[in-house]
Amino acid sequence: MNKPTNPKGTRDFSPKEVKRREYLKNIIKESAELMGFEPIETPAFEKLETLSNKYGDEGDKLLFKILNNGDKLKKADIDAIIQDKLKKFSESISEKGLRYDLTIPLSRYVAQHQQDITFPFKRYQIQPVWRADRPQKGRYQEFYQCDADIIGAPSLFQEVELLQLYHTVFKRLGANEKVVLKINNRKIINGVCEVLAVENKIGFIRTLDKLDKIGIEGIKREFHSQGLDAEKICSVIILEGNNIERLEKIKKFLISSKEGQEGINELEFILNILGLTDKDLKIEVDMTLARGLDYYTGTIFEVVPTIEDVSGSLVAGGRYDNLASNFGLNASGFGISFGFERLYLLIESLNLFPKELSENLIAKVMFTNFDIPNEKYGVIYEQLAITRAKGIKSIFYPNVTKLNKQLQYANQKKIPYVIIIGEDEFKKDSFVLKNMREGNQSTHSLTKMSNILEDLKIASIFAN
Amino acid sequence: MNKPTNPKGTRDFSPKEVKRREYLKNIIKESAELMGFEPIETPAFEKLETLSNKYGDEGDKLLFKILNNGDKLKKADIDAIIQDKLKKFSESISEKGLRYDLTIPLSRYVAQHQQDITFPFKRYQIQPVWRADRPQKGRYQEFYQCDADIIGAPSLFQEVELLQLYHTVFKRLGANEKVVLKINNRKIINGVCEVLAVENKIGFIRTLDKLDKIGIEGIKREFHSQGLDAEKICSVIILEGNNIERLEKIKKFLISSKEGQEGINELEFILNILGLTDKDLKIEVDMTLARGLDYYTGTIFEVVPTIEDVSGSLVAGGRYDNLASNFGLNASGFGISFGFERLYLLIESLNLFPKELSENLIAKVMFTNFDIPNEKYGVIYEQLAITRAKGIKSIFYPNVTKLNKQLQYANQKKIPYVIIIGEDEFKKDSFVLKNMREGNQSTHSLTKMSNILEDLKIASIFAN
């Protein structure tokens, strides 16, 4: 039969990859918990009624739907399929869909469990999501998101808190210098629309959001086709100078817009506080930053790399006021989302994963395995138990076989120390310690094994 | 609109539950890594061709299939649905299914990546699986499995190693005394069949496997209806006495069966080694243990609770010789699987979760939030940064509001210490430390804050 493979758009993770991914997850987790965020988890699938019509037409198409089981399949709407009404047909045979993001599950969770939650609710969540995107380089159908949100708190301290969270994570990863925080406020965009008498605000934001993709000329063309004064718009929002200069310019322009002024005040407050607390945070006020999603109402931001190898946003988020309103709950909140897969690529390309994770040592010590009387195995297992109790990763070679083959395994697995102990050694109450890196070996008395192992614990070749 | 809910058979996990689940996962993970097991992860869904016909007819029915997206739906086999050929119909609109267990994904992984794997391959994997079982108390459609396997190693040291792994986990959880390991060997069962001239071995094993459900009389009836001497069978396999006495009896019975003798030798070897290494491991040789799955070829075992509140097996596994043969790879292996959800119930009912996880403290210190000049916020954030850098979980109350409301929040969240600092305090360069448990409070100089925080770090009320 053919060699089996994983489905397109999905990945198997090797031990080395799992460990690196865990390293990233743990840094986000620990940083979030230190700031009082609590973890929740939601199921891999939600009811379709929960997911549908939340992600726009494009999103709806990318939902993975789960086929009903058993006799429920008999309800298949045959007319619908004959008439090519694919949506109606799929709804007749499916009631559940795979998680598309962590935001809708969060709002469902909050609405469902509001009686048990003490607000403000600070939660983080690290789980995979699934989208039926066409698989291509760097884009997967299964990928992780790491979200942190504060729900039920309208003040700007949430913005400070969550920007500090991302900043802490990047500092701990050693990547803080390689990224810049771009920040804007939806109220400023609304103010610009107000002053310029732009009626279709959503269209305006959608166009702005394409700047990265189609460039300045591209968005000018789009604004123009919407009957807007494209040159004027761009002169207002594409600003030179430092943050203070930019703010001064936009402030003057928005003098007649109450909402615009409010946006500027909010932005200034955040910049002031972060200027006091996080002096090493690189911030860029950027009036072209729009963040496409409809639910944002205030601060919006994204964190982008300043190096060339990685592009796109690494973290993004914003203020929303009615996230759970779909589910009958109004609560203001602020949320950030780490683009986990892109973060992984950044840390990899900056070579910032700890060395011990790159080497992926499965053990520091391997005991050889020879054909010896059972009670001698008892001696080996006792020593194994001692090393493990010391927190030193150690293995007993799984089969009785030739020494060469065992050493070859240790070599391939990069295990730095091998303890050779067979019938000859037992006769002399001794064992041989082989240093695989340096190639040398020495013979010791069995009674000294515990001391030798203690020394290995201190020796620095990773994998405790 | 109606309050939204998660789908039947699935669960949301609250912060407290997530932390407890992480605690269990980490103990399994750390114990496995100390023994040289490496983690892998596989995608949530596999191709249907990988999953189908691997779990028997019942299992096939319980697979969650994923509906094809977009135009692929047009390939729906309308004739099949009209003729009620549900399987054929679903195969026309689905190519993928959710992971049903971790065993088939492991064999697919090993077959697919065999060039990159150094055998023997010791892997562990902790991921959710999905089954369309009818939801009922304690049975979910989404649940976690934790598997550890050694592939490509035929020797009995694997049995020792993996039984030590489970034993280590239970010792670390403090639940070692509350469980017993039941062990048998398929070769012994085969030997019994040989001596008793039972032709339908699979039927014999299936019946034996029902002992827990239908009792001795039940299996006697089934054996009888298969034309077998039920009394004789039961007298051979239902044995009184200690392990040594049981082994002596079965050994005599199997004197003429080579395979049976081999099974006994294997079992004795494992018992001998474990008797030397894991003296506190409670083991029961049990000739009625069958483990239903077809692929077992040697040692089989399960770990069951000896307390009444929890029933069923907590860990189970066995030796297989041809696991990946479906995928064109023959490799002998030994694997164990922790029943994660049941293990959780056991530890919960034994009250063995660490106290700090039961309390679920989100922070040790809360700083109050009052309307003060921006630069004063800088002072508070600076102190927050210091506490967090000390590894003390701490929060700044998210909104400016009345003291009472802030204290109420700290109370509900069980935060033990509150630092009250508003305009009055700033005027006097002071702050108030409130001990929420004891209700008392004291005023200190602002310059002393760092020392006070240091003391709080040492103070023992959980949540560093």
In tens, the pLDDT along A175-188 reads: 999 999 999 999 99
Which helix (H) or strand (E) is A109 found in, with range? helix A103-113
Is the bond leading into B4 cis (omega within 30 degrees of zero)? no
Which of A272, A388, A398 is nearest residue B374 as measured by Cβ atoms? A272
Which of B17, B276, B398 is nearest residue A150 as measured by Cβ atoms? B398
Distance CA A59, CA A293 (A): 12
Q: Which residues pair with A319 in a beta bridge?
A: A334
| Averaged pLDDT for residues A120-142 | 93
Which of A92, A149, A277, A280 to probe by mutation at the B interface, max B CB count within 10 Å? A277
Per-residue pLDDT band for B146 (boundaries 50, 70, 90) equals very high
Q: Where does A226-326 have alpha helices with state H?
A: 230-237, 243-253, 258-277
Nearest to A250 by CA among A289, A208, A279, A286: A286
CA distances from B91 to A62, A435, B87 (A): 20, 56, 6
For B422, the 3-state DSSP assignment is: coil
Average pLDDT, chain A: 92
Per-residue pLDDT band for A270 (boundaries 50, 70, 90) equals very high
Residue at token pair 């049976």:
B260
Domains B15-43+100-354 and B361-462 share a fold: no
Nearest to B443 by CA among B464, B460, B462, B426: B426
Q: Look at A42 and B276 and tell me if their CB atoms are within 8 Å.
A: no
For A208, the 3-state DSSP assignment is: helix
ipTM of the complex: 0.94
Distance from CA of B215 to the nearest CA of A (A): 31
Distance from CA of B325 to the nearest CA of A (A): 10
Q: Look at A118 and B269 and tell me if their CB atoms are within 8 Å.
A: no
* CATH number listed for the domain at residues B15-43+100-354: 3.30.930.10
Write out the E strands in A161-234.
Answer: 179-185
Q: Look at B120 and A42 and tell me if their CB atoms are within 8 Å.
A: no
- Helix, strand, coil shares, percent, chain B, to 5: 45, 20, 35
Q: Look at B67 and A93 and tell me if their CB atoms are within 8 Å.
A: yes
Residues A53-94 have pLDDT tens digits of 888 888 889 999 999 998 899 899 999 988 989 999 999 999
**Cβ atoms of A114 and B3 closer than 8 Å:** no
| Averaged pLDDT for residues A116-124 | 94
Residues of chain A positioned with their CB less than 8 A from the CB of B142: 43-45
Q: A1 pLDDT exceeds 60? A: no
**Cβ atoms of A195 and A260 closer than 8 Å:** yes
More confidently predicted of B336 and B459: B336
Give the DSSP letter string of A49-102.
HHHTTSSHHHHHHHPPEEEPPGGGGGG--HHHHHTT-HHHHHHHHEEEEE---S
Residue type, A419: I
Task: Please report the number of interchain residue pairs, chain A to chain B, with beta-carbon separation below 8 angstroms.
Answer: 308
More confidently predicted of A136 and B163: B163
The tokens for A439 are 């190639």
Which of A19, A132, A154 is nearest residue B399 as measured by Cβ atoms? A154
What is the model's pLDDT at position B2?
A: 67
Q: Look at A67 and B69 and tell me if their CB atoms are within 8 Å.
A: no
Phi and psi angles of residue A422, each rounded to the nearest 5 degrees, phi first? -130, -165
| Averaged pLDDT for residues B338-365 | 91
Which of B3, B46, B72 to probe by mutation at the A interface, max A CB count within 10 Å? B3
Domains of chain A: which residue ranges? 15-43+100-354, 361-462
Burial class (CB in 10 A: 0-12, 13-18, 19+), A390: middle
Burial track A415-426 (b if 16+ CB lie within 10 A, e otherwise): bbbbbbbbeebb
Distance from CA of A276 to the nearest CA of B (A): 5
Per-residue pLDDT band for A464 (boundaries 50, 70, 90) equals low
What is the model's pLDDT at position B462?
A: 65
CB atoms within 10 A of CB A429: 9
Phi and psi angles of residue A232, each rounded to the nearest 5 degrees, phi first? -60, -50
Residues of chain A positioned with their CB less than 8 A from the CB of B34: 388, 391-394
Per-residue pLDDT band for A37 (boundaries 50, 70, 90) equals very high
Q: A461 pLDDT exceeds 80? A: no
Q: B205 pLDDT exceeds 60? A: yes
This model's pTM is above 0.90: yes
Share of chain B above pLDDT 70, in %: 98
Secondary-structure class of domain B361-462 per CATH: alpha beta
Half-sphere exposure of B56 (CA within 13 A, CB side): 6
What is the model's pLDDT at position B38?
A: 95
Distance from CA of A256 to the nearest CA of B (A): 26
The tokens for A25 are 């997850």
The tokens for B3 are 């309050």
Distance CA B95, CA A174 (A): 42
Q: Look at B42 and A12 and tell me if their CB atoms are within 8 Å.
A: yes
Residue-level length of chain B: 464
The tokens for B213 are 């459900």
Per-residue pLDDT band for B463 (boundaries 50, 70, 90) equals low
Closest chain B residue to the Cα of A381, Cα to Cα: B277
Share of chain B above pLDDT 90, in %: 76
Distance from CA of A99 to the nearest CA of B (A): 11
Residues B273-329 have pLDDT tens digits of 999 888 899 999 999 999 877 789 999 999 999 988 788 899 999 999 877 677 777
Give the DSSP letter string of A378-392.
HHHHHHHHHHHHTT-
What is the model's pLDDT at position A103?
A: 92
- Chain-centroid distance of CA A226 in Å reads 37
| Averaged pLDDT for residues B344-371 | 91
What is the model's pLDDT at position A53?
A: 87
Burial track A269-290 (b if 16+ CB lie within 10 A, e otherwise): bbbebbebbbeebebebbbbbb
Based on its alpha-carbon atoms, the radius of gyration of chain B, rounded to whole angstroms, reads 29
Based on its alpha-carbon atoms, the radius of gyration of chain A, rounded to whole angstroms, reads 29
What is the model's pLDDT at position A463?
A: 65
What is the model's pLDDT at position B304?
A: 96
For B128, the 3-state DSSP assignment is: strand
Distance CA A342, CA A178 (A): 14
The pairing of strands B417-420 and B430-435 is antiparallel
Give the DSSP letter string of B278-335.
-TT--EEE-TT-----TTEEEEEEEEEESSSS--S-SEEEEEES-GGGGGT----EEE
End-to-end CA distance of chain A: 42
Q: A318 pLDDT exceeds 90? A: yes
CA distances from B143 to A209, A437, B45, B358 (A): 40, 43, 15, 22
Q: Which residues pair with A182 in a beta bridge?
A: A284, A302
**Cβ atoms of B314 and B179 closer than 8 Å:** yes
Distance CA B337, CA B101 (A): 10
Residues A179-212 have pLDDT tens digits of 999 999 999 999 999 999 999 998 999 999 999 8
Residues of chain B positioned with their CB less than 8 A from the CB of A277: 378, 381-382, 385
Distance from CA of B328 to the nearest CA of A (A): 7
What is the model's pLDDT at position A56?
A: 82
Which helix (H) or strand (E) is A216 found in, with range? helix A211-225
Q: What is the DSSP secondary structure assignment for residue A197, as one 8-state letter?
A: T
The tokens for A337 are 């989302």
